[in-house]
Amino acid sequence: MRTRPLKVALLGCGVVGSEVARIMTTHADDLAARIGAPVELAGVAVRRPSKVREGIAPELVTTDATALVKRGDIDVVVEVIGGIEPARTLITTAFEYGASVVSANKALLAQDGAALHAAAEDHDADLYYEAAVAGAIPLIRPLRESLAGDKINRVMGIVNGTTNFILDKMDSTGAGYQEALDEATALGYAEADPTADVEGFDAAAKAAILAGIAFHTRVRLDDVYREGMTEVTAADFASAKEMGCTIKLLAICERAADGASVTARVHPAMIPLSHPLASVRGAYNAVFVESDAAGQLMFYGPGAGGAPTASAVLGDLVAVCRNRLNGATGPGESAYAALPVSPMGDSVTRYHISLDVADKPGVLAQVATVFAEHGVSIDTVRQQGKDGEASLVVVTHRASDASLSGTVEALRSLDTVRGVASIMRVEGE
């Protein structure tokens, strides 16, 4: 074994960073044996240097992250700051100064993944980011390496623990959105400002990363259709139950049937209770992958948290250190397929639509005609009348999002349709 240690600079020492530092210290012998050389924590860049950090020697702590990555003797920079800047500049500087990078930064990877990969390649360095998607769950490596000889057609997953906790709570207790969110906040599952989670921004960033890797195509954050879950109601859950379904916020990356384009989208959807994703509880994550040869695979585990995310970071750290000792780099960006990313209108799925209609003869015929005119085939209809009003629930066969939108617009203009109570996609069948 090489005795000269590999030097690691840690950028950020919050929930994840402190766990990375702790494991690097307590498991130093194991890491050395697995890598083939010791790894040494050479510096820790923080915002608040006065905070006491157990297990980290005070002389390692600095507020000058830039100086740390420019030291020139750093082998690997671990970036767990999050956000776009200063993380982006620090990572590109790290490459310029000869280091490889392990990052957990989904927002940055989703926005600037291509440029960062190019910078890594220019400097013969590695850029690994298993922790950026679904926390501890090995997902990037299986998609990028284990399935490298297969053709992935679909990646569909629960990739945000906060929203899964809220939806699971609504499902199991009948609570409304706000009540479930309040509980998630009280328990620390939701942040004070939950926008990034509940509006689907976090999941959309992960969808962009997953789609890019799965389809060997650059997918930018802007390419991902995004719909949050703040408007999911207890009534939606009741409707889902009647269909033998539950509701999950899903990130879905799909290759079109003709193979010539891909789509990526994030939205709440009904899925059958028999689907493996339906039983993913609490803040857990799970990702379902469908490929030509392997068939259906699922990966399940904790999607966030200090220790789980640190596990993923350290797995990458070991790999990057091994590569460095080998004088090699791991697989870089693979975007050779360069498939076009289709707009949301081209996405095809089934829909569950609840309408408030007048309870009089001819309404069903009118509504059915609108669906037919837009080429949307109806699977089931359920009508329930009361005091001159009626609710009409329509579940469609597979149709494009554009056709469905056209249908809904036309329905709204019917006199007999008082309102469109909800539209929800139905997945996983």
Residues near a second copy, by CB under 8 A: 19, 23, 27, 30-31, 33-34, 130, 136-138, 141-142, 145-151, 216, 276, 279, 291-302, 305, 307-308, 310-319, 322-323, 326-329, 331, 334, 336-337
206 part of the active site: yes
Considering 106, 206, 241, 386, which one is annotated as catalytic? 206
Nearest distance, CB of residue 138 and a second copy, angstroms: 4
**Which of residues 163 and 217 has its CB atom nearest to a second copy in the complex?**
217
Nearest distance, CB of residue 300 and a second copy, angstroms: 4
Closest CA relative to residue 421, chosen from 393, 399, 402: 393
**Which of residues 56 and 393 has its CB atom nearest to a second copy in the complex?**
56
Q: In what order do the strands lie in the sheet with 61-62?
A: 61-62, 39-45, 6-11, 76-79, 100-103, 127-128
Tokens linked to 276: 């493996």
**Which of residues 240 and 310 has its CB atom nearest to a second copy in the complex?**
310
**Which of residues 56 and 317 has its CB atom nearest to a second copy in the complex?**
317
Closest CA relative to residue 330, chosen from 342, 343, 316: 316
CA distance 138 to 133: 9
**Which of residues 273 and 372 has its CB atom nearest to a second copy in the complex?**
273
Q: Whose structure tokens read 């200063």?
A: 86
Q: Report DSSP letters for 327-370, one per residue.
A: T--------TT---B--GGG-EEEEEEEEEEE-STTHHHHHHHH
CA distance 241 to 238: 5
Tokens linked to 367: 């509504």
Query: Roughly how many angstroms between the first and final C-alpha of the chain, as a whole number?
Result: 52
User: Which distant-in-sequence residues (6+ apart) come within 8 Å of 11 by Cβ?
Assistant: 17, 45, 65, 68, 69, 77, 78, 79, 80, 81, 87, 90
Nearest distance, CB of residue 273 and a second copy, angstroms: 11
CA distance 98 to 218: 26
Nearest distance, CB of residue 335 and a second copy, angstroms: 10
**Which of residues 228 and 302 has its CB atom nearest to a second copy in the complex?**
302
Nearest distance, CB of residue 283 and a second copy, angstroms: 11
Nearest distance, CB of residue 277 and a second copy, angstroms: 11
* Helices (H) then strands (E): counts for the chain: 14, 17
Looking at residue 290, its amino acid is E
> Which amino acids are annotated catalytic?
206
